[in-house]
Structure 1
Amino acid sequence: MIRLDNIGKQNGKQLVFIEASAAIQRGEKVGLVGPNGAGKTTLFRMITGQEQPDEGQVVTDRGITIGYFSQDVGEMFGRSAISEVMDGTGPVSAVAAELKALEADMADPDRMDEIEAIIERYGEVQARFEDLGGYALEGRAREVLAGLSFTEEMMDGDVGALSGGWKMRVALARILLMRPDAMLLDEPSNHLDLESLIWLEEFLKGYDGALLMTSHDREFMNRIVTKVVEIDGGALTTYSGNYEFYEQQRALNEKQQQAQFERQQAMLAKEIKFIERFKARASHAAQVQSRVKKLDKIERVEPPKRRQSIAFEFPTAPRSGDDVVSLKNVHKRYGDRSIYEGLDFVVSRKERWCVMGINGAGKSTLLKLVTGSTQPDNGTVSLGGSVKMGYFAQHAMDLLDGERTVFQSLEDTFPQAGQGSLRALAGCFGFSGDDVEKKCRVLSGGEKARLVMARMLYDPPNFLVLDEPTNHLDIVTKEMLIAALSQYEGTMLFVSHDRHFLAALSNRVLELTPEGIHKYGGGYTEYVARTGQEAPGLRS
């Protein structure tokens, strides 16, 4: 269906692809993986024809439709979210827009003298809308938006009033509604809450076209893809199976290649030693020449490419008291909406609470109450003795000084620390070499998140409050963070939509539902087993 034949591509001085080949067949669900900057977005752009390979060719079956969702959603304003979503399906959206305009005209007292002509035109347009299956399409569009957690009010409101994350969902919904023959999805799991993520997972499982996608959510990838294409060092390598199988197979291949490399190196050393020893002896001239020729013909085995792995170890945090934070009879409202009425909640030392609930349930509000970023209307929030808190919030990334470099930002936070110590810290969080001289304003979302974490964790708090800490992080950095936090001996309260993160780190669950607040001993895995659901309000 889609073939990449010996493609070569260079961006500036960087060789992105060198004689790379891969194929995507009809109905296959393929995960595209590789380190940041390896060329995943370039590959998508070549398949859609936005870029051309320098060598080789990209071949797509004649007549197939391709839907491409990228992180760059462009401008959206002046229309409703539902109109934007239907816009991707061709003429029906234009007919729907005219229908809406005619409805407004019929209700306009200033146009009463034209009412007969308007009604006549309305009948014609309505018939055309029905012929195109418009009413069914609008129903499907609303279903897709509801699956991505839109309310009816948001669907019908101006899309320009939505945040960047919600506009991304509109752009994603447009591609899903198209149901093209092939879908290219670049990080569709970004900006989604857990409920939307699980809905999208089910939608994509039921999709019968070809799917090529990237995602930093390993659980999401695992459940959808049946094949993995890896970009590394300019080559494309295909693995059958899900993401977990790919990781195992890649590790096995690396191990085998390392063993082959070592065997060959030992053989070469032995041959070279023989040549060096006997090259001056006439009696061994023929043997020496024979071995030199043999060495020239041998195809050298390369050592496996080592992925840059980063590891961070927490210095020991000071011990807190047994009661870390206590909320008593807390009430909180935003306008007419009541978030908490009489909330009682205590976090004890070494507990790791994950907070779960649908959009608007009050997850971030709880974290803000605990950290003092917002005050309760009634009731008390009190920190225990010797508690030293670290708070990771999404807005923290916006507070970085854009004109300071990564290294200067660390120096500003820890003026007493030595240069070597701060460079080691930067390296742990993926800033090596010249990366430390990057100005904060040019950092990607993931880089900003890593810098904020580095500043928070270097002088470790004994109570971590984390609001979606894995947003923007790639799989390798998430693994580093999970490994580090697994060894952390302090207390945690966090919100995350990443099921791997939830399962690995929680030992308590606080579930916020419209019916009330439920507390579960045991972590996320036990919560799923006990409730039969992966998120509040969803049944598996």
Structure 2
Amino acid sequence: MIRLDNISKQNGQQLLFIEASAALQKGEKIGLVGPNGAGKSTLFRMITGQEVPDEGQVLIDRGVSIGLFSQDVGEMSGRSAVAEVMNGAGDVSTVAAELRELEAALADPDRMDEMEALIERFGEVQARFDDLGGYALEAQAREVLNGLSFSQEMMDGDVGNLSGGWKMRVALARILLMRPDVMLLDEPSNHLDLESLIWLENFLRGYDGALLMTSHDREFMNRIINKIIEIDGGSLTSYSGDYEFYETQRAMNEKQQQAQFERQQAMLAKEIKFIERFKARASHAAQVQSRVKKLDKIERVEPPKRRQTVSFEFQPAPRSGEDVASLKGVSKRYGSRVIYDGVDLLIRRRERCCVLGVNGAGKSTLLKLITGDSAPDEGTVTRGASVKMGYFAQHAMELLDGEHTVFEALEDSFPRAAQGSLRALAGCFGFSGDEVEKRCKVLSGGEKARLVMARLLYDPPNFLVLDEPTNHLDMATKEMLIEALKAYEGTMLFVSHDRHFLAELSNRVLEVTPEGIHQYGGGYTEYVASTGQEAPGLR
């Protein structure tokens, strides 16, 4: 369906692709992987014709429809979320727009003299709309939006009033409703809660078109894709299988290439040693010449390209008392909506509590009550003796000083720390070399999240409260964070939609329900085993 034929592409001084080739066939569901800045979004833009390769061709079969979801959703306002979603549904949305214009014209008394022609045209357009399945379209649009956790009120309200994250969901719903021959999805799992993520996973598994997507959620990727295309060093390499298979195969290929490289280096060293030893002896001149010619003809094996991996080690956190946080008789309402009514909860030292609940159940509210960001209407919230708390919230990214550089933001937080130590910290969280000189106002959402996380963990608290800490983090940074938190000896309370993160780090589950907080012994893996579901509200 789509073929990339020896494409080369340069952005400024950076060579993104060098004579790279790959193909997307009918029915394939492909995960596109590679380090940040490798060219994943550029590849999407070349396929959709927004950019052209410097050399080579992007070949697309005649008549193939393509839908692109990207993080840049553009302006949305003046329409309901349902209308916005239907507006992207291809031919049927154009016909629907004409149908609405004709309905308005038929009701306009100033156009009575055109009535016969308008009625005739209305009949033609209505028939065409019906043939295209237009009357089922609104129901389908609502079904997709419902799957992405929209309430009826949000579906019918002005899309312009929604936050950026919800507008992303509208843009995603538009592509899903369109059901093109090929879907290009750039980080569709960002901004979704766990229930929406699992719904999308099931939708894409049942989608009969071809799919090319990026995602920083390994569990999501694993369950959908049957092929990987890796961008690395300007080339495109294909692997059949899911993400787990790709990781295993890539590690095996690296190991084999390293062994080949070492064997060849040993052979070359032996030959060079012989040449150096006997080059001055006439009796060995022929042998020396023969070996020199042999070395010239040997194709050199390159060492494997090593992905830069970083690790972060916590400084020891001070010990807290056994009781870390306590809620007694806590009630919380927003207007007439009751979130909590007489809730009791105790969090003990070294517990790693993950908070689950359907969208709007009050997960973030619980975190805000415990951190003091929000006060209960009734009851008490207390933190225990010697508790030093660190809170990662989405709004924390908005509090960065835009004029500060990344390094200044770290230095401002830790004025006594050595420069080398802060640069090492920045490197762990993806800011290497000159990137520490970037001003905070130009950082992407992911970069801001990494910077806030770095500031939080450098001088670690003994009670970490994390609200969606993995949003925007790439797989490498996420893995680094998981490994670091595994070694953390403090207490954790967190909300996350990343099932790998949940399974690796939780040892207690708090499920927020209208009846109160249900508590499960054991972590997320045990919760799934005991309930038979991966998220509350799924059946």
TM-score scaled by length of structure 1? 0.96
Q: Could you tell me how far 1:207 is from its partner in structure 2?
A: 0.6
**Which residue matches 2:188?**
188
**Which residue matches 1:390?**
390
2-side partners of 1:368 and 1:441: how far apart? 26
Q: 1:99 to 1:469 in 2, by over 3 A?
A: same
**Which residue matches 1:88?**
88
Q: Could you tell me how far 1:258 is from its partner in structure 2?
A: 0.7
| Identity among equivalent pairs (%) | 80
Q: What are structure 2's unaligned runs of at least 5 residues?
A: none
Question: 2:175 corresponds to which letter in structure 1?
Answer: I
Please state if 1:46 is matched with 2:46.
yes
**Which residue matches 1:152?**
152
Q: Could you tell me how far 1:12 is from its partner in structure 2?
A: 1.1
- Deviation by residue 1:196-255 (Cα, 9 ceiling, x = unmatched): 100000000001111100000000000000100000000001111100000000001111
1-side partners of 2:20 and 2:128: how far apart? 47
Question: 1:363 corresponds to which letter in structure 2?
Answer: K
Are the counterparts in 1 of residues 3 and 22 from structure 2 also a CA contact under 8 Å?
Answer: yes
What secondary structure does 1:415 align onto? coil
2-side partners of 1:56 and 1:399: how far apart? 45
User: Which piece of structure 1 moves more, 378-387 or 328-337?
Assistant: 328-337
Are the counterparts in 2 of residues 387 and 462 from structure 1 also a CA contact under 8 Å?
Answer: yes
Are the counterparts in 2 of residues 410 and 422 from structure 1 also a CA contact under 8 Å?
Answer: yes
Question: Superposed, which structure 2 residues align to 1:33-182 within 5 Å?
Answer: 33-97=33-97, 124=123, 126-182=126-182
What secondary structure does 1:447 align onto? helix
- Deviation by residue 1:438-487 (Cα, 9 ceiling, x = unmatched): 11111122211111111111111000000000000000000000000000
Are the counterparts in 2 of residues 83 and 97 from structure 1 also a CA contact under 8 Å?
Answer: no
**Which residue matches 2:434?**
434
Question: Superposed, which structure 2 residues align to 1:217-366 within 5 Å?
Answer: 217-366=217-366
User: Which piece of structure 1 moves more, 429-438 or 397-406?
Assistant: 429-438
Please state if 1:28 is matched with 2:57.
no
Q: 1:320 to 1:102 in 2, by over 3 A?
A: farther
Are the counterparts in 1 of residues 339 and 514 from structure 2 also a CA contact under 8 Å?
Answer: no
Q: Could you tell me how far 1:75 is from its partner in structure 2?
A: 0.7
Q: 1:238 to 1:131 in 2, by over 3 A?
A: closer
Are the counterparts in 2 of residues 31 and 225 from structure 1 also a CA contact under 8 Å?
Answer: yes
User: Which piece of structure 1 moves more, 426-435 or 259-268?
Assistant: 426-435
Q: What are structure 1's unaligned runs of at least 5 residues?
A: none
1-side partners of 2:15 and 2:91: how far apart? 41
What secondary structure does 1:331 align onto? strand
2-side partners of 1:73 and 1:428: how far apart? 30
TM-score scaled by length of structure 2? 0.96
Question: 1:191 corresponds to which letter in structure 2?
Answer: H
What secondary structure does 1:260 align onto? helix
Q: 1:356 to 1:112 in 2, by over 3 A?
A: farther
Are the counterparts in 1 of residues 183 and 212 from structure 2 also a CA contact under 8 Å?
Answer: yes
2-side partners of 1:133 and 1:382: how far apart? 57
Question: 1:302 corresponds to which letter in structure 2?
Answer: E
What secondary structure does 1:340 align onto? strand
Q: Could you tell me how far 1:514 is from its partner in structure 2?
A: 3.0
Q: What is the RMSD computed on CA atoms of the aligned residues?
A: 2.1
Q: Could you tell me how far 1:367 is from its partner in structure 2?
A: 0.4
**Which residue matches 1:18?**
18
- Deviation by residue 1:265-297 (Cα, 9 ceiling, x = unmatched): 111111111111111111111111111111111
1-side partners of 2:456 and 2:194: how far apart? 26
Q: 1:122 to 1:521 in 2, by over 3 A?
A: farther
Q: 1:254 to 1:340 in 2, by over 3 A?
A: same
User: Which piece of structure 1 moves more, 484-493 or 120-129?
Assistant: 120-129
Are the counterparts in 1 of residues 66 and 183 from structure 2 also a CA contact under 8 Å?
Answer: yes
Question: 1:311 corresponds to which letter in structure 2?
Answer: S
Please state if 1:456 is matched with 2:470.
no
Q: Could you tell me how far 1:300 is from its partner in structure 2?
A: 0.8
Are the counterparts in 1 of residues 341 and 516 from structure 2 also a CA contact under 8 Å?
Answer: no
Question: 2:442 corresponds to which letter in structure 1?
Answer: V
What secondary structure does 1:89 align onto? coil
- Deviation by residue 1:517-537 (Cα, 9 ceiling, x = unmatched): 211000000000000000001
Q: 1:114 to 1:335 in 2, by over 3 A?
A: farther
2-side partners of 1:441 and 1:520: how far apart? 42
What secondary structure does 1:249 align onto? helix
What secondary structure does 2:88 align onto? helix
Q: Could you tell me how far 1:120 is from its partner in structure 2?
A: 5.6
**Which residue matches 1:216?**
216
**Which residue matches 2:500?**
500
1-side partners of 2:454 and 2:131: how far apart? 58
- Deviation by residue 1:285-337 (Cα, 9 ceiling, x = unmatched): 11111111111111111111111111001111010000000011111111121
1-side partners of 2:5 and 2:94: how far apart? 39
What secondary structure does 2:509 align onto? strand
Are the counterparts in 2 of residues 311 and 428 from structure 1 also a CA contact under 8 Å?
Answer: yes
- Runs of 4+ aligned residues of structure 1 deviating over 4 Å after TM superposition are 97-106, 110-123, 125-128
- Deviation by residue 1:168-208 (Cα, 9 ceiling, x = unmatched): 11111111111111111110101111001000000000011
Are the counterparts in 2 of residues 99 and 122 from structure 1 also a CA contact under 8 Å?
Answer: no
Q: Could you tell me how far 1:132 is from its partner in structure 2?
A: 3.2
Q: 1:475 to 1:138 in 2, by over 3 A?
A: same
Question: 1:55 corresponds to which letter in structure 2?
Answer: E
2-side partners of 1:49 and 1:97: how far apart? 26
2-side partners of 1:8 and 1:177: how far apart? 34
